[in-house]
Structure 1
Amino acid sequence: MDRSPTAAASGIEAFIRDLPKVELHVHLEGSMRPATLIELAARHRVEGIPGTPEEIRDWYEFRDFPHFIDVYLASVAALRDEEDFALLTADVAATLAAQNVRYAELHVSLYGHLMRGIPARVVFDGIEHARREAEREHGIRLRWIPDFPGDYGVEAGAETLEAVLRDGPDSVIGFGVGGIEVSRAPFADLFGRARAAGLHSLPHAGENGGAERVREALDLLRAERIGHGIDSLQDDRLVARLRDDRIPVDVSPTSNLRTRAVEAIGEHPLPRMMEAGLLVTLNSDDPPMFGTDLLNEYRTAHTLGLGTAELAELARNGVAASYLEESAKRELIGEIDACPAPM
């Protein structure tokens, strides 16, 4: 049997490739391929967007998190009509399916479109058309989490929620808040309304705003999952609460590196979060913008010291933390358990 480093590397690569996966923290708009962004920007004559893939890659070198948000909002401006949203969704679905992602819950930056005068119905009609096609063509199942940037205030959140309640399809399963990480306290009533309407509370918290943002998300927004949450490790009592209450934490290592939430990938707290017993899921966040994808996040987790057992645990955690029906969860976890690890 070949036990050379090359064979071991190819073995782990095959394991990561073949492992059935879900993705729970990935942004639809942040998943736009550079070629698609360039095509749409040219079609709609959008200024300020680079015109070549090389220039796009340079544009995606982020100084800090606010700079990333500026670039993100600039790229969103290339999405104008139903066909644009359908094209984006079809691209994203095919890319996910090629990584053996079976199910994904995607954040949709709905307020970023509403603020530009794009009706919610245009957004939903486009992404729903492509979602149905993707399920037929690739077998991947997609669900939506509309969100708004917290730094735009309660009014932005209220406009977003009203649009979701008025026009959102049944495939909308949650409501979120992202953007620059301001206090979550002002959004307590808003998330109460969302929960009363049957939407799951899925906010970003603890990406770069400290452990207090995670506590606010839990206490005031009744968060069912925490988006990012790496700052939770600043507070031992919070870590114990997340562990004991089995609150999932959706972690995206490369994203945290590229937005300077961590200084070096070797410093990422993913292994410590798993050692602490947290229900951690692995995700890609805004993959083309960060030069990654979900396969690469599993490779990164492996370079951080996680073996095949831990990688399979991350995959099972994603299934457990998802809003798939229980029968589908059992089936998918069975496939994960049956995925052969390299010898």
Structure 2
Amino acid sequence: MTETPPNPAATAEETAVSAVETLIRDLPKVELHVHLEGSLQPETLLDLAARHRVADIPRTLGEIRDWYAFRDFPHFIDVYLTSVQALRDEEDFARLTRDVAGRLAAQNVRYAELHVSLYAHLMRGVPAHVVFAGIEEARREAESRYGIRLRWIPDFPGDYGVEAAEQTLEAVLRDGPDSVVGFGVGGIEVDRAPFAGVFERARAAGLHSLPHAGENGGPERVWSALRDLHAERIGHGIDSMRDPRLVEHLVETRIPVDVSPTSNVCTGAVATLADHPLPAMLDAGLLVTLNTDDPPMFGTDLTGEYRAAHRLGLSGADLAGLARNGVSASFLPAADKRALTAEIDRVLAAWSADTAD
């Protein structure tokens, strides 16, 4: 029997993929745009839904996977708001946070700023102090067990109006722990101008302005977030690429844009991964960070997003650059930023030396 000789081109490609996998694994990472509730694993969701008798949530893993096939962005929001109904008490929030912290730490994530959909709980009668007690208990455990640091960005859905924004901020100012670093707005994209006063009060209280904008609402939503909310980072922001003047402004001001490629594909913001503007955003000089948004809902994790970025044509050095951007755009102390950036540089240098051999 004649053996088929190895294909040198295929072998070289497999070696290159393996090398990039090693780099992705070893890079210290930061994640800045991930929703705590959107990180609820299907198995946990099923368990909590059964325990609390939540009727609107599917009852098998197969049905959950089908449920996560989003027709469009409003459908995604409907599923998201239904899924959070499974979170009821302090232990639910602690359990969720423990799982999220463990999964992030396993991917060599050292620090994460997580959006907390606080209004989605307030509107169901779950008090803010219950939410914060649960996530804080698990945050402290995770820091001790894994060394990972978690910080919180409570937010509200903009399409619920100014009253929702005010209720959310009041709850944060009353019950929020010191680990709350920012205040955000998400949901279906609406004009950000009506929320200017609420964000002004949040910033006066020391919270950073971290709104979603330009995910699917056009570049004007980004302009509004910058102008009216004094945004310090833009969540998603991919529609910025439709306005050259906005791109120029973001480059000049170095305002970070937190990008989540797989999320954008799954919600229909872009048609396919190949259509994603991430490479063009980097080429334009934007300070882009790489994130998951709602990882199990989109079948991804941060390691998967680095793989996706590589499939878009980004080199190993580019991936390390994204890791550096995450550190730079975070609210870590300056000394910690320097140390983590230096570690990223060492990992890249060692990887480059190994792959050059």
TM-score by length of 1: 0.99
Partner of 1:331: 339
Counterpart CA distance in 1 for 2:278 and 2:23 is 20
Q: 1:302 and 1:151 mapped to 2: Cα distance?
A: 35
Aligned equivalent of 1:122: 130
Amino acid at match of 1:239: V
Which residue in 1 is equivalent to 2:49?
Answer: 41
For 1:166-315, list aligned pairs within 5 A. 166-315=174-323
Residue 341 of structure 1 corresponds to: 351
Instruction: Give 3-state SS (helix, strand or coil) of 1:77's partner.
Output: helix
Pick from 82, 93, 98 the counterpart of residue 90 of structure 2: 82
Deviation at 1:231, TM superposition (A): 0.2
Superposed CA deviations along residues 188-233 of structure 1, whole A, max 9, x for unmatched, are: 0110000000000000000000000000000000000000000001
Measured against aligned partners, the alpha-carbon deviations of 1:111-160 in whole angstroms (never above 9, x if no partner) come to: 00000000000000000000000000111000000000000000000000
Specify the code of the residue in structure 2 equivalent to 1:142. Answer: L
Deviations 1:264-312 (A, max 9, x none): 1100000000000000000000000000000000000000000011100
Over residues 32-59 of structure 1, what are the superposed CA-to-partner deviations in whole Å (9 max), with x where a residue is unaligned?
A: 0001100100110111111121111110
Aligned amino acid, residue 293 of structure 1: D
Question: Which of 67, 71, 78 is the equivalent residue of 2:75?
Answer: 67
2:136 is equivalent to residue 136 of structure 1 = no
Matched, 1:162 2:165: no
Off by >6 Å, runs of 4+ in structure 1: none
Q: Which structure 2 residues correspond to residues 107-118 of structure 1 after superposition, within 5 A? A: 107-118=115-126
Could you tell me which amino acid in structure 2 is paired with residue 341 of structure 1? Answer: W
Shift of 1:341: 2.5
- What per-residue deviation string (whole Å, max 9, x for no partner) do you get for residues 62-111 of structure 1? 00000000000000000000000000000000000000000000000000
Residue of structure 2 equivalent to 1:54? 62
CA distance in 1, matches of 2:202, 2:170: 9
Aligned-partner Cα distance in 2 for 1:28–1:221:
23
| Structure 1 unaligned regions, length at least 5 | none
Alignment TM-score, normalising by the size of structure 2: 0.95
1:104 aligned residue (99, 107, 112): 112
Shift of 1:175: 0.1
The CA distance in 2 between the partners of 1:271 and 1:5, in whole Å, is: 21
Q: Distance in 2 between matches of 1:186 and 1:5?
A: 52
Q: Distance in 2 between matches of 1:64 and 1:146?
A: 24
Gaps of 5+ in 2: 1-8
Distance 2:98 2:22 in 1: 26
Mapped to 1, the partners of 2:127 and 2:177 lie a distance apart of 14
Q: Percent identity?
A: 73
Aligned to 1:7: 15
Describe the SS at the equivalent of 2:86: coil
In structure 2, distance between residues paired with 1:18 and 1:189? 43
